[in-house]
Every structure is written in structure tokens, then in C-alpha cells.
Structure 1
């Protein structure tokens, strides 16, 4: 009995020791598997059939339709007043500047005195000639003397005509001391400076006639055959402003160096459009039906265009596409998709091939996508 009791005690002690050893060993349990979270919530859209305009691209400068040069005909006079500046709108006949008139006024007074003197001389010569003619038949005056008196009258008439012409010249010079606008328009340049003594022919101002501007665009010779007078042009300025115009004229000459020709487009008046601006533009030549997507759905990688789709496992797949023209935030899809294709509407720059995404339903798409961005 004692032997059995000792054996049982040893077994119990050994069991406790083994238990304590196992309890102190480090845990080797497998950690729980965590569920992968979607990278982004996305909205799915399909390509839509739209009317796509067929266009021709062009670049060029905005210039004045006609720019008038306003100069002076007066010579050696001092400019005493300038009434307009660059950007001012003027009317035909409006006074722009004035020259000093002192010299011209004095010369005009002198010419008028000469006219008076010539008038008196003519009257005296005419009276003498008339008396001689009356005495012709009496023999009191020889025929030679009569002819001399008649010639004297003619010379006096010529001197009077010359004096009158000189007076008219000075009157014209006096008128030329006032520089008037030759047409309605906008002052585009001012060279006139108060106090300057200007020679005849010197330019004082430049005027954009009627404030009318045009786009002088360069078009490749291969595209000229598709352009017609009256077609609509849409211009995009450097600051993003868009304006409309009508094709007025196509130049008859193609530049032998660039192989481009100039076309002239009349522009609708716009306060943001200035002479000298550079603009890119398109001419609408036709329209066609085509598949389109929002430009946000198409991205560029390594020089190629792609869209993103979602497979049955909610994983992103990348599909190459061939694009056409862009218009109104839409882009034409030529190859790679069908009307039944499902593509991610936006967020391509944040996703990669194989990323897990959550597809939003149409009722919450806009709200949740905007929240995540």
C-alpha cells in the first residue's frame, strides 16, 4: 500500500510539473486574418453617344482689322495740347491735339493784306483799261497804249488770284494745326508729346478703326480645302476666356517656309480681348455621332491613353483606348470601348491595376466620391 501511495504521488507531481512547463512556453497561435479594405469608392459610368464637332486647329495673333496712322501735315510747329491717350475711344472729327497757331495767324493776316492790296491794284488797272477802250475810236490813245493798259489789268488780276491762293494756303495750314480723328475707333498708340516741334508727316497717334479686331490664324495648307468663308471659329485666350468669330477671308498665298496660310476671322466685341494677344482656336467644319466619356475618366500613362474598369472581384483593370477630339469637358473614344462598357468616372490618378475598390450606387456616388477626395 505504501508503495502504491508513493507511486501515485510521483505521478501527480510529474503531471503538475509538465503542466507548468507547457503553461510557461510562448504562444505559437496563428494570428487572425484581417479583411482587405477598398482603396477608394468609385462611380461607374458608360460611354455615351454624343454629337461631336469635327474641327480644324489653328493658332494666331489678334490684330486690328484696320489701324489708321494719324500724322501732322503742319511743318515745324510746336505741339501745345494733347487731349487723348492710349485706350481712349474717339469719334470721327473729334479733336485729338493742337499746334501753336501764332506763326500761321501772322502769315494769314499778311496774306489778307496782300489780297486787299491786289484788289485795289486790280480795280485801278481795270478802270484805266476801260477808259482807254472808250477813247480808242477818238485816236487820243494809241493802240499800243491801250494794249499795255489791258495787259496791266490782266497782271493785276493774276496778282490778286495769287494772293487769294496764298491766303487759302494759310487758312489750310491754320486748319491743320488741329489734329482730328479720321474715323470712330480706339487710340492704340500715342507718340505726340506736348512741347515737341514736329516735322510734316510725323506720326502722332494710331487708331483701331471702329475698335474692330480680327484673329489672324495660321492654318496648315492641307486643311485649307475644308475651310469656307462664314464658318464659326472658337478661340481660347491665354487666360482661359473663350470667344466666337466668323471666318471672313482666306489668304491667297501659302508661306513657302511654314506651309501655312493666314485666315482672317472677325471677332465679336469683348472687353477682355486686346490687340496683340495670342489665341488658339478651332474651326467647326462638320458634326458626327461618336462615343464620348468625361475627360476625368481618361488618363495618360507612358504616352498612351487608358480608362479603368472594375472586374467581378471589385479589382481595377486598365484598358487602353484611342481618343479623338475633345469638347465641352468630353472626349471622343474611337477604339477600345463599346456603349456597354463600364468604366470608372474619376480618380484614375489614385488607382493602380489590381486595386480593390468599392462601387457606389447612383444615389450616393457624387456625395461619397467628393467626400473621399
Structure 2
């Protein structure tokens, strides 16, 4: 009895466990079937999943600046050499240094005046002596002329008195000329600025004795610089006097200038001509210095061209590409040529399909033929919308 009761209990337990497994195993299979049915389309094939969520935009017609790029050196408009006009004098004082702004007639340096002052005093004494001699000779000649009618003096003696008078007058004039020359030497002990400008170089040293004509300073006249741009002969006709140019130095400083003149000849080696662009306010633009190499763009006018957001252009394998959205939400990769830039937009110089929708956000992660999900572009924030638009930067030259 005990064994049969135990056997019956074991059989009942096995049947109960089997019933439980049967009930639990049926539910997952039903769920899997439901998922498989939901994943099938109308034709019974599985629906593909989008590779990425993107935003799209259409090309817009934007007014861009027509520019011509060029390179060249920055140089002084005119440079004046200030030298010594005195010979053998010691330099006693130097009042300016490199970078100082000076006015016309300002004293730049002073030579020791003692030697010149002594020469001036000697010249004045010689002049006084010559004038006294001339006065005496004039009196003798006057008395001789009064006695001419009486015959007390011969004609030869009268002529001698008159010659002595004229010689004395000539000596007075010579003494006056010597005094004037010495006074000029006295004024030359002060070295004066020949024009308004900026001191660009200084070789004057206190205590040195210099010869006449020795260079003491170099002066950038009126503080004006110019950009000497090299423009090829093929493009030279596009630039004219008065054309605006944006010059960017190696340090990144940007200056706006105007074409002052164009060289009448072309270099036979480089086939390029120099275009001289005035750069105003160089003292305020400390990033532009004479001797710098700079690049720039000449403004030739404006034109309307199709542009897309810069994020839509994907550089890949040495080419610029955009992704065009097809009606089936798949993208097609297209190589394009780009040109000028304006803020965050870039010009497309190659042809685009009519009504093309260009992928913007997410374009850099796509491949040709990918399926995408399109969403609307996020609206600009209220704080960004309240800010005034930034001025457009100078457009780069079209490639």
C-alpha cells in the first residue's frame, strides 16, 4: 500500500509539472508570432529601419560678393630719410625713438652748438670790420668826387678812391654771406622732421660725431601704409582705381582699403602687375606692419547664387558632396563644386536637380542609399532671434 501510494503521488506530480510547462511554453510562441506578423508588410517582406533622423533644406538664392583674391607685401607709402646737414659735430640729444609719431618741424635730435656759435661770432666780427672799411672808403670816394672839378686830384687818383669804395662794398656782401652760412649751420644743429609721420628706424646715437649726409632716422610719411598686391595680367582688367579691398595680414588683422593706383607695366617673369592699395588708420590697426606678407580680396560687385547651409556639404575622398533626399526617403550622394561663403552658407557652383531637398543635420554620417527619417529643423531660440544679425565677413574667392 505504501509503495503504490507513493507511485501514484509521483505520477500525479509529473503530470502537473508537464501541464505547467505546456501552458508556459505556449505563450512565448504566441508572442513571437505576433511580432513576426507585425514586422511584415503588405507583401509579406520585413520593413527596413531608418539609418538616421535628419533635417533637410532647399537651396536658397543669396546675394554674394564677387571678389578677386590676391597676395602681396605691405610697405610704407613713402619713406623719408632724415640725415645730418652739419659736418663734424657731436650729437648731444636724441628726442624721438622708433614708433613715435611726429609732426612736421618737430625737433628730432640736437647737435652741440658751441663750435657753430663761435663761427657765427667770428663771422659777425668780420662783417662789422668790413662795414667800417666800406664806410671809410665811401667817405674818401665822396671827397674825391667833390674835388674832381677843381683839378686838385688827378683822374687816376679819383678812380682809385672809387675802386676802393666798390671793393669795400663787395667785402661787406661777402661777410654777410659768410654770416648767413654760419647761421644756417647753427639752425642745422637741430634735426627737424620733414613731414608728419611715424619713425620707422633710428641710427642716431648720443655722443657720436657724424659727417654731413649721414642717415639718422627713417620716417613713414603721414603714417600711411600700402598693400602691393600682385594681380595676374588676365585678371588686371577687373580691378580699377577706387576698388575696395579687404586685406588680411598673417596675424589675422583685417583692414579695409582702396586701390590708389595700378602699375603701368607687367613683370615679364611672373606676368603679374602691382596694384597699390592705401591702408588708412594703420596706427589703430597694430596687426598690420610694413614688410608683412598679406592676402586680400578685391570687391568687384555682387551677384545672386544658390547656397546651402555649410553643414550640408560633406568633404569626402577629396571631393565635396551633398546628400539629396529622394521621394522614398532614401538619400543619394552627389559631388558638387563650392564657391563663396557667407556666414554659415556656402555657394554651390555646380548644377543641382530642380526642387532638390538637401540633407543638413546628420549629413556627415550618411552613405549613398541610406534610408532616413526626416524631421523639421529646430526653431531658433528666442534669445538668438532677439540678437541683431552679424555683419557679413568678406567673401572668399570662388575656386
TM-score range, shorter chain: 0.7 to 0.9
CA contact (8 A) 2:53 2:362 kept: no
Given the superposition, is the C-alpha separation of residues 257 and 142 from structure 1 closer, same or farther in structure 2, using an over 3 Å criterion? same
Q: Residue 356 of structure 2 corresponds to which residue in structure 1?
A: 341
Residues 1:277 and 2:268 are matched in the alignment: no
- CA deviation map 1:175-220 (0-9, x unaligned): 0111111111111111111112111111111111211121110001
DSSP 3-state at the match of 2:61: strand
> Greater CA deviation, 117-126 or 272-281?
272-281
1:93 to 97, 105, 114: 105
Q: 1:227, CA displacement in angstroms?
A: 1.5
> Greater CA deviation, 286-295 or 135-144?
286-295
Q: Residue 82 of structure 2 corresponds to which residue in structure 1?
A: 70
With normalisation by structure 1, the TM-score equals 0.83
Q: 1:58, CA displacement in angstroms?
A: 0.8
CA contact (8 A) 2:54 2:374 kept: yes
DSSP 3-state at the match of 1:216: strand
CA contact (8 A) 1:93 1:182 kept: yes
Q: Residue 337 of structure 2 corresponds to which residue in structure 1?
A: 322
| Number of aligned residues | 356
Residues 1:45 and 2:38 are matched in the alignment: no
Residue pairs, 1:158-307, within 5 angstroms: 158-270=170-282, 271-272=284-285, 273-307=288-322
Structure 2 distance, partners of 1:215, 1:124, is: 69
CA contact (8 A) 2:86 2:188 kept: yes
CA contact (8 A) 1:319 1:336 kept: no
DSSP 3-state at the match of 2:175: helix
Given the superposition, is the C-alpha separation of residues 331 and 214 from structure 1 closer, same or farther in structure 2, using an over 3 Å criterion? same
Q: 1:284, CA displacement in angstroms?
A: 1.9
DSSP 3-state at the match of 2:229: strand
> Greater CA deviation, 340-349 or 123-132?
340-349
Q: Residue 133 of structure 1 corresponds to which residue in structure 2?
A: 145
Given the superposition, is the C-alpha separation of residues 175 and 292 from structure 1 closer, same or farther in structure 2, using an over 3 Å criterion? same
CA contact (8 A) 1:43 1:365 kept: no
CA contact (8 A) 1:42 1:365 kept: no
Structure 2 distance, partners of 1:213, 1:264, is: 10
2:67 to 55, 64, 67: 55
Structure 2 distance, partners of 1:77, 1:54, is: 60
With normalisation by structure 2, the TM-score equals 0.78
Q: Residue 163 of structure 2 corresponds to which residue in structure 1?
A: 151
Q: Calculate the aligned-residue CA RMSD, in Å.
A: 3.6
DSSP 3-state at the match of 2:92: strand
CA contact (8 A) 1:46 1:339 kept: no
- CA deviation map 1:51-84 (0-9, x unaligned): 1222211111122221111111111111111111
CA contact (8 A) 2:329 2:373 kept: yes
CA contact (8 A) 2:55 2:362 kept: no
Unaligned runs of 5+ in 1: 20-28, 368-373
Q: 1:310, CA displacement in angstroms?
A: 5.0
Q: Residue 22 of structure 1 corresponds to which residue in structure 2?
A: none
Q: 1:47, CA displacement in angstroms?
A: 1.7
Residues 1:105 and 2:113 are matched in the alignment: no
- CA deviation map 1:113-165 (0-9, x unaligned): 10011111111111111111111122221111111111111111111111110
Q: 1:312, CA displacement in angstroms?
A: 6.5
Q: 1:337, CA displacement in angstroms?
A: 2.4
